Amino acid sequence: MPGSTHARAAQPITVWHHLCAHGWALSRDRGRLADWRVRASVSPLGAGALATSTLGLDPAATAERLGFDGVFENSLDAISDRDVLQEFLGFGAILATHLSRLAADLARWTDPALGWAELDEGYSTGSSMMPQKRNPDTAELARGKAARITGDFVTLTALLQGLPLGYQRDLQEDKEPVFDAVDTLATVVPALIGAVATLRIDTAAMRAACQDPGLYATDVAEAMVRAGVPFREAHRRTGELLRRLDVDGRTLRDLTADEWIAEGVLDGGALLDPDRSIASRTGPGGPSPASVLAQCDALTTALGP
């Protein structure tokens, strides 16, 4: 498939390479949640409203009975701060951002103008007016919900900033943004899981899009570099070549063998091949088949059972 930068087709990559990028982002989110759980597993029970309760409540015993890993170290800190909730909302906002980017790709790929994929009817809806349309509502709503969860984080942060130590009635407002974020994520995550699991990808359409000869301009410049041309010069020469071809109504596919040789590139026509281009990207984390398979194995290990 054509990979893109600045929302413009750039170089050939593979679908797996693209999906692995989303996978790595989500694996970091999982790591953030695991880190948060360690800090969150502290019981505040027994801190009282300011000083530790004198009613005979044993904070350590209640923490153990409630399944917490530890107990507060300072009663004033325990009743004054809500950073554990703030951190959760920070995690939620980052996760929602990553989900919104996945949703944006689903919406783009399934645009009939591109035709690279199709959402299952269970995750798309018909138009209220135009019978021929099926809209990517799941993806669009996932994008919109990211703004809502980010707003929850901002709400709690604004609530907490500037509060003096000690319990303040303002703190009762901590529940609503947290519960809203939890409920929203509990809706968005399974919806996107289902949308991705049932997505029908048209690999033939993606491969056909890789026939665009402009996708191989970087391969041409790199071939010049391998022939001893400094990259800056190779970049300039390739750009000038493309401009001349555009003026003539031609593309890189129209160059003859002699014209390729005149540009200092032997067998240049062979460069205009997606399989060859992708296979040459053998660096760690790249789109070559071996690299992507290694990423899949690493992701499987990172995600665990």
Q: For the domain 17-41+79-208, what is the CATH code? A: 1.20.200.10
For the chain, the structural domain boundaries read 17-41+79-208, 213-273
Mean pLDDT by 10 residues, the chain (305 residues): 93 96 96 95 81 71 92 89 95 98 96 94 84 87 96 96 90 95 98 97 96 95 94 96 96 95 92 95 92 94 82
Burial class (CB in 10 A: 0-12, 13-18, 19+), 84: middle
Task: Report the predicted TM-score, pTM, of the whole model to 2 decimal places.
Answer: 0.90
At residue 167, the pLDDT reads 86
pLDDT attached to residue 53: 59
Q: What is the pLDDT of residue 52?
A: 62
Query: Given this chain, do its domains 17-41+79-208 and 213-273 carry the same CATH topology?
Result: no
Fold designation for 213-273: Ribonucleotide Reductase Protein R1; domain 1 (1.10.40)
How far is it, in rounded angstroms, from Cα 301 to Cα 165?
44
With residues binned 3-state (H G I as helix, E B as strand, rest as coil), the percentages for the chain, rounded to 5, are: 65, 5, 30
Widest CA span in the chain: 93
Specify the length of the chain in residues.
305
* CA nearest to 295, candidates 305, 282, 304, 285: 285
Q: Give the residue numbers annotated as catalytic, written as ranges.
A: 6, 127
pLDDT of residue 4: 93
